[in-house]
C-alpha cells in the first residue's frame, strides 16, 4: 500500500530554522516532491529529490534517504509569508501521492 506520514502542525518564530519531516512507504518510488500551499490556493512546487542527499535552493533545502524512506524540508530565515501548508508527495510510476500536509505557523 501507499503510506506517507508528516506532522500535522508545526510552529516557529520569524528568523528561525524549521525542519519538516516526511516518511513514506510506497511501491514504485521514483522521487520525492515538496509543495507549498497557502490557504485556499493551489500547491506550488518547491523541490524534487531523486537521489539521496541534500538539494539546496535559497532558503529552502530538501533531503532524501531512499534506504530509510525519509525526507525532510528545511526552511531557513523564516518569514511570516512562509506560514502555509507543506505537502510531501511521493512520485510513483507516473503520479504523485500526497501526504496530508504540515501546517506551519510562523510567529513574530
- Burial of 4-43, coded b for 16+ CB within 10 Å and e otherwise, reads bebeeebebeeeeebebebbbebeebebbbbbbbeeeeeb
Least Cβ distance, residue 100 to other proteins (angstroms):
5
Binding site for other proteins (CB under 8 A): 4, 30-31, 33, 40-45, 48, 87, 89, 91, 94-101
Least Cβ distance, residue 1 to other proteins (angstroms):
13
Q: Name the residue nearer to other proteins (CB basis): 4 or 104.
A: 4
DSSP 26-52: -SSEEEEEEEEE-TTS--EEEEEE-SS
Q: Name the residue nearer to other proteins (CB basis): 69 or 99.
A: 99
Least Cβ distance, residue 77 to other proteins (angstroms):
25
Q: Name the residue nearer to other proteins (CB basis): 39 or 108.
A: 39
Amino acid at each position: 500500500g501507499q503510506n506517507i506520514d508528516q506532522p500535522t502542525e508545526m510552529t516557529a518564530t520569524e528568523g528561525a530554522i524549521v525542519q519538516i519531516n516526511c516518511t513514506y512507504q510506497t511501491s514504485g518510488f521514483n522521487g520525492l516532491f515538496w509543495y507549498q500551499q497557502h490557504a485556499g490556493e493551489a500547491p506550488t512546487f518547491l523541490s524534487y529529490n531523486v537521489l539521496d542527499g541534500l538539494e539546496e535552493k535559497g532558503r529552502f533545502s530538501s533531503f532524501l534517504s531512499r534506504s530509510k524512506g525519509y525526507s525532510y524540508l528545511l526552511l531557513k530565515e523564516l518569514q511570516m509569508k512562509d506560514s502555509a501548508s507543506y505537502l510531501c508527495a511521493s512520485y510513483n510510476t507516473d503520479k504523485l501521492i500526497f501526504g496530508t500536509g504540515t501546517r506551519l505557523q510562523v510567529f513574530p
